[in-house]
Amino acid sequence: MARPPRSVAAAQAPDTADATPPAAPASRTRTSALDRAVQILDALQEANKPATAYEIAHRVNAPLSTVYSIINDMVEKNLLSRAPDGTIWLGSRLYGYGLTYASSLDYLAVANEEMQRLSAQVEETVQICGLEEGMMVVLQMAEGPGHFRVTSRVGSRVPVNWTASGRLLAGHLPDAERAAFFTHYAQPSPTGRAETRPDVLAQNARQALEERLSIQVGESDASVACLAAPVMDRSGACVFTISIVMPEAKAAQGTERYAQAVRSVAARIEARLGWRQREQDGAA
């Protein structure tokens, strides 16, 4: 909420030396504490293992005393837990929040069902991916049944320009916003094969969305290929993607069957969610 002009604020306050100060500084302090709490949770999620308060403070680049105080508050509220050895991990209260949040997202329930079906059909790992703070995040995953499986942890985040899904998730943005998006978030990949030029990425993202298919081979990992299709709402925005992840060597033998399968499943998810007319509805 915006603060009133200085003259208005002065008129509203008692004209005494010991008048109660404006509430704005307290608001800034609370916001700062909330930001630190989110940084602590993000740091633990990214590490995917318990950590000491010192390690957390180092990761979030904050004073140890500040982090330790916030951790104590979060432990008291069961947002974090402290092990006997002093290490910190996520608290049981977060599990309840997560269950409530997941139950409210009907589209993820539909996507999970179709993801499992697709994984069994193509016998490869299938992922549901979304966009979070300029990064592609794995929301759900079904591992393939084969002996050689390509997997990644649910919740893992990858720069948008490293993956097939990343391009699709930004493909619906207007031209200028799309170019600015990649200018801000594109990063070089470990293999050095990921495209980083914003203008090229912006063009590729739009084309991939129009074709409802994005393919990347060896850009984030030298041995991995990915084929992704967008799941778009009625406005044409890519809400999330469904992708098939496989060994690069298998993709080199041909991707047509996988491309057709992932496109079909994405279309079926849209239809089930009411975001796209079923083919028979539009046949007339």
pTM of the model: 0.63
Looking at per-residue pLDDT, the higher value among 103 and 106 belongs to 106
Across 248-254, average pLDDT: 83
Residue range 21-43: mean pLDDT, rounded = 69
Are 76 and 196 within one domain? no
CATH number at residue 50: 1.10.10.10
**Boundary-marking domain end, from 50, 68, 94:** 94
Which residues form the domain of 164? 105-272
Report the number of distinct structural domains present in the chain. 2
Say which amino acid occupies 254. Answer: G
- The answer, yes or no, to whether residue 206 has pLDDT greater than 50, is yes
Higher-pLDDT residue of 11 and 83 is 83
pLDDT for the residue numbered 234 = 87
Instruction: Read off the amino acid at residue 144.
Output: G
Instruction: Judge whether 96 and 147 are in contact, CB under 8 Å.
Output: no
Specify the pLDDT at position 251: 83
What's the confidence (pLDDT) of residue 11? 37
Judge if 49 and 122 occupy the same domain. Answer: no
State the maximum Cα–Cα separation within the chain, in Å, rounded to a whole number.
Answer: 81
Assess whether 238 and 169 both reside in one domain: yes
So what's the pLDDT on residue 222?
A: 64
Confidence of residue 191 (pLDDT cuts 50, 70, 90): confident
Q: Which residue has the higher pLDDT, 31 or 237?
A: 237
Q: What is the per-residue pLDDT for 9? A: 37
Q: How far is CA 88 from CA 49, 65, 70, 145, in A?
A: 9, 15, 12, 35
Residue count of the chain, please give it.
284
What SS3 state is found at 164?
A: helix
Task: With residue 238 as reference, give the H or E element that holds it.
Answer: strand 238-247
Given this model, what pLDDT does residue 270 score? Answer: 92
What are the angstrom distances between the C-alpha of 155 and each of 129, 137, 148, 214, 231? 9, 6, 22, 21, 19
Domain boundary among 48, 63, 94: 94
Q: Are residues 32 and 129 in the same domain?
A: no
| pLDDT-derived band at 272, boundaries 50, 70, 90 | confident
- 89 and 115 co-located in one domain: no
pLDDT in tens, 69-103: 999 999 999 999 999 999 999 999 998 887 777 66
